[in-house]
Amino acid sequence: MALPPPPGYYVPAVLFFDANEDFDVPAIQSHVLRLAQGGVTGILVQGSNGEAQHLSHDERKEAIRLTRQTLDDNGFKHVLVIAGTGAQSTRETKKLCVDAKEAGASHVLVLTPSTWPPQMNVDNIIRFHREVADASPLPYMIYNFPVVTAGIDLDSDVLSTLAQHPNIVGTKLSCGQIGKLQRLASTFPSTEFAVFAGRSDFFYTSLLAQGAGLIGALVNVLPKVHGRLLKLHQEGNFKEAMALQAKLGHADWAMQKLGGISGVKAVVSKNFGYGVPNVRGPLKPLTIESLVGNKHANTVEELIALEKSL
């Protein structure tokens, strides 16, 4: 029986590049280790923050392998590696799922194809995910992120239908819809179909709504702070948890305003001493110098001080 990843907090890890846009292996390894040391339950390789669509098949497979090996070599075998395997054709998506297993992932996370939005009606969306899930050698999760799928937004009825497939074990909701999350989480036990918030700005709210946890970009910067929030929730400390969630909500918004993927890399490079904020075109790089005096960077750095104290 296919099982979902366990409840907790996961990170769609950024991938560091050198000046030639090749893998910066030492920086990637440093990042993976800092995240693992920060207590993450797992690392998502090639989520939207991992620039999956900018990589070749061989690079996508190597990024998974490198992450798994780095964890294993440093005593973090318990930290899961989930692979983003979304592509624009059913055939390619199936191939990427096979590659993910060969490279050491435990689960796959799949976006809905979006090159031809008018043709992606409900029946075709369901057919696509079922067909790929049938072929996937790993337990399968559905990634709902309308921003990167031309506005395609899977509702709770569609996701509930797909949840009944024996190899479909969860979803990441980057749509930010807490009502959708609660409907799903109250219908399916997290041991069968895990429903994860896809953004830090509703992490705690999702936990209160019976969600399985978080797969969120801000964890790249603040893994320990997210672990602190989860612990406060588990202890029933509502007041302190809500106060910390408010700060994470402001920081999550600030990171979006800083420029997304390159912004994450710039903040990490500036504050933790590895990597440079190179991205693959057409994304635009953000310089570390541009963070100085930036109000959004200052908002995030207030929580980085807490991160470093934990």
User: Mean of the pLDDT values across residues 198-218?
Assistant: 98
pLDDT higher than threshold 90 for residue 85: yes
pLDDT of 120 above 90: yes
* Among the listed residues 89, 45, 46, the one whose alpha carbon sits nearest the alpha carbon of residue 71: 45
The model's confidence at residue 48, banded by pLDDT at 50, 70 and 90, is confident
Paired with 8 in beta bridges are 213
Q: Across residues 52-64, what is the average pLDDT? A: 96
286: left (phi over 0), alpha (psi -120 to 50) or beta: beta
- Is residue 262 helix, strand or coil? helix
Residue 1 has pLDDT above 90, yes or no: no
- Return d(Cα 252, Cα 309) in angstroms, integer: 20
Do 194 and 4 form a contact (C-beta atoms < 8 A)? yes
Position 30 scores a pLDDT of 98
215 has binding-site annotation: yes
Q: Which one of the listed residues 10, 94, 140, 172 is annotated catalytic?
A: 172
Cα distances (Å, whole numbers) of residue 170 to 39, 213, 282, 288: 21, 11, 31, 36
Average pLDDT over residues 142-165: 96
Per-residue pLDDT of 260-299, as tens digits, reads: 899 999 999 999 999 999 999 999 989 999 999 999 999 9
- 135 close to 73: Cβ distance less than 8 angstroms: no
Compute the average pLDDT of residues 161-165: 98
8 Å CB contact between 275 and 269:
yes
pLDDT value, residue 13: 98
User: Is 295 a residue of the active site?
Assistant: no
Average pLDDT for 182-206? 98
Computed over every residue of the chain, the mean pLDDT equals: 97
- Domains in the chain (CATH in brackets) are 8-240 (3.20.20.70)
CB atoms within 10 A of CB 12: 28
The dihedral through the CA atoms of 147, 84, 33, 309 has a sign that is positive
What is residue 113's predicted lDDT score, i.e. its pLDDT? 96
Question: Catalytic pick from 9, 140, 143, 204?
Answer: 143
Token pair for 103: 């490279």
pLDDT at 186: 98
Amino acid at 184: L
Give residue-wise pLDDT tens across range 246-261: 999 999 999 999 988 9
Strand partners, 17: 23
In the annotation, is 172 catalytic?
yes
